[in-house]
Amino acid sequence: MKKTLIALSLLALCGSASAEVILYGKISAGVEFNRGFDHEKSWGVKDLGSYIGFKGSENLGGDLKAIWQVETRAPVNGNGLSGGRDTFIGFEGNFGRATLGHQATPLYRATERFNQWEASDSDSGFPMQLKYFRRYSANRHTSLQYQSPEWGGFDFSLMVAPGNNLYNSRTQDHNPAFGLGLNYQNSGFFAKYGLEYAMRGHDRHSGKDAHIHALIGGYDANNLYLALGLQYAKNVYPYFGAPSNVTRQVNTYINDVYGIATINIGGTNYDVPYNATLKEAAISAAYSFGAVTPKISLAYGTSSGSTLSNGWKVGDGGRYMQAIVGADYAFSRRTTALATLGYVRSRVSKRNPYENQWGIGTGLVHKF
């Protein structure tokens, strides 16, 4: 930790010596109360996504620049700097921008604004953000990416993430994942499309490719934000349910770093394959009245389930419904107080009962 602080101090000194180095970030913390799927109640002081970053550029002549960025989580709960955010190097010019490093995917950027909530990544924060809807898009991959310039409100982005950077299994080193982002905006109206496609993304895909599509459209101007989101995922993990199942779904269409689910039928354990189809829809809205911004999000999703090797189906009829309401109060352009109430109702399959979870939170956010 001491070495980390020294390194950060040196970077800060570099920033003071050169106008090309920018220090930025966000500090956010709050109190969350949660009643979980297991009926347990909990509350605590939580980090709501704090981070710190440094970025800069160097003019290489003409329109060409070298660009770089180093960004890391900086939680207020004492866990120290933990990386995990956009860190890359590359070139930028009239042609657009080309970068390599650990970066948000095109699918991530298509859905980022849609999740307008500040909540922790722990179970207590689960009902207070669109965790189900963004469980695939809230990813960053070590990848090569290209971002085009804007032409009349339109731009696009491309990504390739080598299998060697994605998988724990060396047998999948040759299986890359690809990303595509399309974006259009004009007079406040916007449309965003994000795709992620993983070739034979998991050992349990039986050779099938996984792909996730998200389409977001709406209006963002004149104090109003209104957006509709649709998402379709094929050959992915089948279950909706407790937060642990959502954690399992993050990255599991390409690699299950949290362990793979099994199910026992008649004394025999069967691996749960990644061949489900998920369909989801959500809406988010916000309107600013001076310093106060009320917000709401609603989401709904279904799962087709996965077929086991014995022909049985699991996770079929899986379903969730979610509602989040809240409000922000802006003390200034940089400092905001927030209050959020969230509710999730879900079931793993049509043979399982619905489970309910709700949470309430309040917090303070400062951006610099």
| CATH number of the domain residue 149 falls in | 2.40.160.10
Q: How far apart, in whole angstroms, are the C-alpha atoms of residue 275 and residue 100?
A: 31
pLDDT of residue 17: 43
- Establish if 23 belongs to a structural domain: no
| Backbone phi, psi, residue 42, to 5° | -150, 155
- Is residue 231 pLDDT above 60, yes or no? yes
* Average pLDDT estimate for 271-276: 75
The pLDDT tens digits for 178-214 are: 999 999 999 999 999 999 998 765 555 456 788 899 9
Listed range (33-47, 161-175, 351-365) with the worst mean pLDDT: 161-175
Q: C-alpha angle 310/311/312, rounded to 5°?
A: 95
- Establish if 104 belongs to a structural domain: yes
Helix ranges restricted to H, 208-362: 243-249
pLDDT of residue 78: 78
Domain region containing 199? 94-367
- Establish if 261 belongs to a structural domain: yes
pLDDT of residue 100: 97
CB 116 within 8 A of CB 34: no
Total number of domains constituting the chain: 1
The pLDDT tens digits for 17-41 are: 444 799 999 999 999 998 876 667 8
Buried b (16+ CB within 10 A) or exposed e, 55-71: bbeeeeeeeebebbbbb
The pLDDT tens digits for 110-169 are: 998 888 999 888 777 889 999 889 887 777 888 999 999 999 999 999 999 887 766 655
The pLDDT tens digits for 53-81 are: 999 999 999 999 999 999 999 999 877 77
- Establish if 59 belongs to a structural domain: no
- Establish if 134 belongs to a structural domain: yes
Query: Residue 196: beta bridge partners?
Result: 179, 212
- Establish if 197 belongs to a structural domain: yes
The chain-wide mean pLDDT, for the chain, equals 84
- Establish if 142 belongs to a structural domain: yes
pLDDT of residue 173: 58
Q: How far apart, in whole angstroms, are the C-alpha atoms of residue 153 and residue 148?
A: 12
> Which of the four pLDDT bands, split at 50, 70 and 90, describes residue 247?
very low
- Establish if 153 belongs to a structural domain: yes
pLDDT of residue 171: 53
CB 123 within 8 A of CB 32: no
Percent of the chain exceeding pLDDT 70 equals: 81
